[in-house]
Amino acid sequence: MRRRLLPLGLAALLCNPSFAQTVDVGRNGTDEIGNVRASHAVEPASPLSLNRALAMAFGASPELRGARREVEATEATIIQAQVRPNPELATLIEDTQKATRTTTLQVNQPIELGGKRAARIDAAERGRDAASAELDAKRAEIRAAVVAAFFDVLVAQERLRLAQGSVELAQRASSAAARRVLAGKVSPVEETKARVAEAGVRIELTLAVSELATTRKRLAGTWGNPTPRFERAEGDLDALPPLPTLADLNVRLATSPTLLRA
């Protein structure tokens, strides 16, 4: 007596409704590979808004792409968890003589008891929720970094503008003091004081230029560009966002990615 247990193979694939869904991996994989190869974005040589900076940082972040892929993978895990066990084809052959041989074909369908399938789906959904929380946390981290770097650029731009104005005023004061000394109206000490003050203002201008260059590189680094090309950051330092209410804070706390991950 010989007994064979064979998967239904193509028949199971065609008959089982769980295999009716198809996933286009090739095109998405190609696009994703293309995005990975483009490891950084290059902004246009024009004024930069905060929304544009956020969009480029979100699009160029490898961590964010990885978190998105993790969410997609958990979605596939949920689909797999919903699949019921495949039926099996059993072949039972009794006797080796052809005249008296008996062949029995049997289709077996495993049935899961004790809520195994529901528990498996629930575990997969929890994995999806954890991956979604991780994605939200990564997005919040990137947003916080971009917003902080963007406003640092705004502050540095304002500092440079003020320093340039101070240099112009100091130059005028030095020239006026020099003319008054030539006219014999004041002591040469006054001109020396004016020159010293002008030198101090020029040092401040040099520091402001250096700070602006540093903050620009830090901002462009959030989307992977080591050489900033944007002309300036466009924004209003006085336009601060309104503070959320206590009710809004409670809602945000309940849906916080950090708490969901915990």
- How does pLDDT run across 223-239, given as a tens digit for each residue? 999 999 999 999 888 77
Contact 94, 47 (CB under 8 A): no
Mean pLDDT to the nearest integer, 66-75: 90
Higher confidence at residue 262 or residue 208?
208
Six token digits for residue 92: 């039972």
Q: How far is CA 166 from the centre of its chain?
A: 41
Q: Which two structure tokens, joined as six digits, stand for 2?
A: 């010989």
Select, from the ranges 6-10, 64-68, 149-153, the one with the highest average predicted confidence (pLDDT).
149-153
Helices 116-182 and 50-60 cross at an angle (nearest 10°) of: 130
Q: Is the pLDDT of residue 240 over 60?
A: yes
Whether the per-residue pLDDT at 25 is higher than 50: the answer is no
pLDDT at 205 over 90: yes
**Cα(60)–Cα(39) distance, integer angstroms:** 6
Per-residue confidence (pLDDT) for residue 236, from 0 to 100: 86
pLDDT at 261: 63
pLDDT score of 166:
95
Whose structure tokens read 């804070």?
249
* pLDDT tens for each residue of 132-144: 888 988 998 999 9
CATH level 3 topology of 2-13+42-261: Outer membrane efflux proteins (OEP) (1.20.1600)
In 10 A of CB 131, how many CB atoms?
Answer: 21
**pLDDT score for 252:** 76
**Domain boundary assignment for the chain:** 2-13+42-261
pLDDT at 176 over 90: yes
pLDDT tens per residue across span 33-43:
334 335 567 88
Q: What is the mean pLDDT of the chain?
A: 81
Q: What is the reported pLDDT for 143?
A: 93
Output the CA torsion sign for 251, 243, 130, 77: positive
